[in-house]
Amino acid sequence: NNGAVGHDEL
Amino acid sequence: MNIFRFLADLSHMASIVILILQIRKTKSAAGVSYKTQFLYALVFVTRYIDIFFHYVSLYNTFMKIFFVTSTIYILYLMRVQYKPSHDPNIDTFRIEYIIAPSAVLALIINHGYTLYEILWSFSVWLESGAILPQLFMLQRTGEAETLTVHYIFALGIYRLLYIPNWIYRYVTEGRVEPIAFLASLIQTALYSDFFYIYYTKVMQGKKFELP
Protein backbone atom coordinates (compact mmCIF):
# COMPACT_ATOMS: atom_id res chain seq x y z
CA ASN A 1 0.00 0.00 0.00
CA ASN A 2 1.97 2.99 -1.28
CA GLY A 3 -0.50 5.56 -0.05
CA ALA A 4 -0.16 4.61 3.57
CA VAL A 5 3.19 6.23 4.27
CA GLY A 6 1.94 7.34 7.66
CA HIS A 7 1.98 3.79 8.96
CA ASP A 8 5.72 3.95 9.59
CA GLU A 9 5.25 7.03 11.78
CA LEU A 10 3.65 7.78 15.08
CA MET B 1 13.62 9.56 10.15
CA ASN B 2 14.31 13.24 9.67
CA ILE B 3 14.96 16.01 12.17
CA PHE B 4 11.42 17.43 11.96
CA ARG B 5 9.76 14.17 12.82
CA PHE B 6 12.25 13.37 15.56
CA LEU B 7 11.82 16.77 17.20
CA ALA B 8 8.07 16.45 16.78
CA ASP B 9 8.03 13.10 18.57
CA LEU B 10 10.25 14.47 21.35
CA SER B 11 7.97 17.45 21.77
CA HIS B 12 4.97 15.15 21.86
CA MET B 13 6.65 13.05 24.51
CA ALA B 14 7.63 16.18 26.47
CA SER B 15 4.04 17.40 26.48
CA ILE B 16 2.87 14.21 28.17
CA VAL B 17 5.72 14.23 30.69
CA ILE B 18 4.92 17.87 31.53
CA LEU B 19 1.30 16.99 32.16
CA ILE B 20 2.10 14.03 34.39
CA LEU B 21 4.62 16.08 36.38
CA GLN B 22 2.11 18.86 36.84
CA ILE B 23 -0.64 16.56 38.08
CA ARG B 24 1.70 14.74 40.44
CA LYS B 25 3.43 17.85 41.71
CA THR B 26 0.28 19.79 42.47
CA LYS B 27 -1.66 16.63 43.36
CA SER B 28 -4.38 18.08 41.22
CA ALA B 29 -5.73 17.84 37.71
CA ALA B 30 -7.48 21.19 37.85
CA GLY B 31 -7.50 22.91 34.48
CA VAL B 32 -6.85 19.70 32.56
CA SER B 33 -9.61 18.43 30.31
CA TYR B 34 -10.41 14.80 30.99
CA LYS B 35 -12.27 14.66 27.70
CA THR B 36 -9.21 15.67 25.72
CA GLN B 37 -7.15 13.04 27.52
CA PHE B 38 -9.80 10.43 26.85
CA LEU B 39 -9.82 11.33 23.16
CA TYR B 40 -6.03 11.00 22.97
CA ALA B 41 -6.24 7.58 24.60
CA LEU B 42 -8.77 6.63 21.92
CA VAL B 43 -6.46 8.05 19.22
CA PHE B 44 -3.51 5.97 20.41
CA VAL B 45 -5.42 2.76 20.93
CA THR B 46 -7.07 2.90 17.48
CA ARG B 47 -3.87 3.92 15.69
CA TYR B 48 -1.35 1.68 17.43
CA ILE B 49 -3.41 -1.49 17.18
CA ASP B 50 -0.84 -2.38 14.47
CA ILE B 51 1.80 -2.89 17.15
CA PHE B 52 0.76 -6.55 17.12
CA PHE B 53 1.22 -7.15 13.39
CA HIS B 54 3.26 -4.35 11.80
CA TYR B 55 6.82 -3.94 13.01
CA VAL B 56 8.58 -0.71 12.00
CA SER B 57 11.50 -0.22 14.37
CA LEU B 58 12.43 -0.48 18.01
CA TYR B 59 12.01 3.29 18.29
CA ASN B 60 8.53 3.09 16.78
CA THR B 61 7.44 0.26 19.06
CA PHE B 62 8.86 1.91 22.16
CA MET B 63 7.12 5.21 21.40
CA LYS B 64 3.80 3.51 20.72
CA ILE B 65 3.95 1.74 24.07
CA PHE B 66 4.93 5.01 25.75
CA PHE B 67 2.04 6.98 24.25
CA VAL B 68 -0.61 4.38 25.05
CA THR B 69 0.53 3.64 28.60
CA SER B 70 1.31 7.25 29.60
CA THR B 71 -2.06 8.50 28.38
CA ILE B 72 -3.93 5.74 30.17
CA TYR B 73 -1.90 6.62 33.27
CA ILE B 74 -3.09 10.24 32.97
CA LEU B 75 -6.68 8.98 32.79
CA TYR B 76 -6.02 6.96 35.94
CA LEU B 77 -4.55 9.98 37.74
CA MET B 78 -7.54 12.09 36.80
CA ARG B 79 -10.21 9.49 37.38
CA VAL B 80 -8.92 7.75 40.46
CA GLN B 81 -5.94 9.30 42.21
CA TYR B 82 -6.84 12.99 42.05
CA LYS B 83 -10.48 12.69 41.14
CA PRO B 84 -11.81 15.46 43.44
CA SER B 85 -9.58 18.05 41.77
CA HIS B 86 -11.20 17.62 38.40
CA ASP B 87 -14.36 19.62 37.89
CA PRO B 88 -16.55 18.06 35.18
CA ASN B 89 -18.76 21.16 35.19
CA ILE B 90 -16.20 23.18 33.28
CA ASP B 91 -15.20 20.29 30.99
CA THR B 92 -18.36 20.51 28.94
CA PHE B 93 -17.38 20.18 25.29
CA ARG B 94 -19.51 17.52 23.61
CA ILE B 95 -17.04 14.91 22.35
CA GLU B 96 -19.65 13.45 19.99
CA TYR B 97 -19.01 16.53 17.85
CA ILE B 98 -15.45 15.35 17.35
CA ILE B 99 -15.96 11.58 17.30
CA ALA B 100 -18.85 11.51 14.81
CA PRO B 101 -17.25 13.69 12.10
CA SER B 102 -13.98 11.75 12.54
CA ALA B 103 -15.84 8.48 11.98
CA VAL B 104 -17.56 9.86 8.88
CA LEU B 105 -14.28 11.22 7.48
CA ALA B 106 -12.58 7.89 8.18
CA LEU B 107 -15.25 6.08 6.19
CA ILE B 108 -14.91 8.48 3.25
CA ILE B 109 -11.17 9.23 3.24
CA ASN B 110 -8.90 6.26 3.96
CA HIS B 111 -6.23 4.08 2.38
CA GLY B 112 -8.52 1.10 1.90
CA TYR B 113 -11.63 -0.48 3.29
CA THR B 114 -10.11 -2.68 5.96
CA LEU B 115 -10.70 -2.35 9.68
CA TYR B 116 -7.06 -1.39 10.19
CA GLU B 117 -7.08 1.39 7.57
CA ILE B 118 -10.39 2.81 8.74
CA LEU B 119 -9.26 2.82 12.37
CA TRP B 120 -6.00 4.46 11.34
CA SER B 121 -7.78 7.18 9.39
CA PHE B 122 -10.25 7.65 12.27
CA SER B 123 -7.36 8.12 14.70
CA VAL B 124 -5.75 10.76 12.49
CA TRP B 125 -8.95 12.81 12.10
CA LEU B 126 -9.80 12.36 15.77
CA GLU B 127 -6.38 13.59 16.80
CA SER B 128 -6.80 16.78 14.81
CA GLY B 129 -9.77 17.76 16.97
CA ALA B 130 -8.91 16.12 20.28
CA ILE B 131 -7.52 19.32 21.80
CA LEU B 132 -10.85 21.15 21.41
CA PRO B 133 -12.29 20.26 24.87
CA GLN B 134 -9.03 21.50 26.44
CA LEU B 135 -9.05 24.76 24.48
CA PHE B 136 -12.75 25.18 25.22
CA MET B 137 -12.09 24.71 28.92
CA LEU B 138 -9.27 27.24 28.77
CA GLN B 139 -11.63 29.71 27.19
CA ARG B 140 -14.19 29.16 29.93
CA THR B 141 -11.75 29.59 32.80
CA GLY B 142 -9.89 32.44 31.08
CA GLU B 143 -6.51 31.56 32.54
CA ALA B 144 -4.35 28.52 33.15
CA GLU B 145 -1.47 27.13 35.15
CA THR B 146 1.86 27.72 33.45
CA LEU B 147 2.47 24.01 33.05
CA THR B 148 -0.91 23.41 31.42
CA VAL B 149 -0.02 26.15 28.98
CA HIS B 150 3.37 24.58 28.25
CA TYR B 151 1.64 21.23 27.78
CA ILE B 152 -0.69 22.62 25.12
CA PHE B 153 2.19 24.49 23.49
CA ALA B 154 4.40 21.37 23.24
CA LEU B 155 1.47 19.44 21.81
CA GLY B 156 0.84 22.12 19.20
CA ILE B 157 4.52 22.20 18.21
CA TYR B 158 4.44 18.46 17.73
CA ARG B 159 1.78 18.53 15.04
CA LEU B 160 3.20 21.70 13.50
CA LEU B 161 6.57 19.94 13.02
CA TYR B 162 4.92 17.04 11.23
CA ILE B 163 4.02 19.43 8.40
CA PRO B 164 7.65 20.08 7.34
CA ASN B 165 8.22 16.33 7.89
CA TRP B 166 5.65 15.55 5.21
CA ILE B 167 7.11 18.15 2.85
CA TYR B 168 10.61 16.79 3.49
CA ARG B 169 9.47 13.23 2.83
CA TYR B 170 7.75 14.30 -0.35
CA VAL B 171 10.92 15.99 -1.58
CA THR B 172 13.38 13.27 -0.56
CA GLU B 173 11.29 10.12 -0.98
CA GLY B 174 8.58 11.29 -3.36
CA ARG B 175 6.02 9.89 -0.97
CA VAL B 176 2.93 11.70 0.15
CA GLU B 177 0.53 11.13 3.02
CA PRO B 178 -2.42 13.37 2.17
CA ILE B 179 -4.59 12.25 5.11
CA ALA B 180 -2.07 12.98 7.82
CA PHE B 181 -0.88 16.12 6.03
CA LEU B 182 -4.37 17.60 5.84
CA ALA B 183 -5.19 16.57 9.41
CA SER B 184 -1.96 18.22 10.61
CA LEU B 185 -2.94 21.45 8.88
CA ILE B 186 -6.37 21.40 10.56
CA GLN B 187 -4.85 20.63 13.93
CA THR B 188 -2.25 23.37 13.65
CA ALA B 189 -4.92 25.85 12.60
CA LEU B 190 -6.86 25.06 15.79
CA TYR B 191 -3.77 25.99 17.78
CA SER B 192 -3.11 29.27 15.96
CA ASP B 193 -5.04 31.45 18.44
CA PHE B 194 -3.39 29.68 21.33
CA PHE B 195 0.07 30.11 19.79
CA TYR B 196 -0.60 33.79 19.33
CA ILE B 197 -1.57 34.31 22.97
CA TYR B 198 1.31 32.10 24.11
CA TYR B 199 3.71 34.23 22.11
CA THR B 200 2.37 37.62 23.20
CA LYS B 201 1.96 36.75 26.89
CA VAL B 202 3.82 33.69 28.12
CA MET B 203 6.99 34.44 26.17
CA GLN B 204 7.12 37.82 27.89
CA GLY B 205 6.82 36.23 31.29
CA LYS B 206 3.22 37.19 31.85
CA LYS B 207 0.48 34.97 33.16
CA PHE B 208 -1.54 33.11 30.59
CA GLU B 209 -4.79 34.99 30.56
CA LEU B 210 -7.26 35.29 27.74
CA PRO B 211 -8.14 38.78 26.57
The C-alpha of B166 sits at a distance from chain A's nearest C-alpha, in angstroms, of 9
pLDDT of residue B45: 98
pLDDT band at A2 (very low <50, low <70, confident <90, very high): very low
Of B201, B33, B47, which is closest to residue A9 (Cα–Cα)?
A: B47
The rounded mean pLDDT for chain B is 94
Task: Give the residue-averaged pLDDT of B51-78.
Answer: 97
CA distance B51 to B79: 27
Q: Phi and psi dihedrals of B131, rounded to 5?
A: -80, -15
Q: Tell me which of B175, B182, B184, B187 to substitute to probe the interface with A (most A C-beta atoms closer than 10 Å).
A: B175
ipTM over 0.95: no
Helices (H) and strands (E) in chain B, counts: 8, 0
Q: Higher model confidence: residue B202 or residue B42?
A: B42
- Residue B61 is predicted with a pLDDT of 97
- The pLDDT of residue A4 is 60
For residue A1, what pLDDT band results from cuts at 50, 70 and 90? Answer: very low
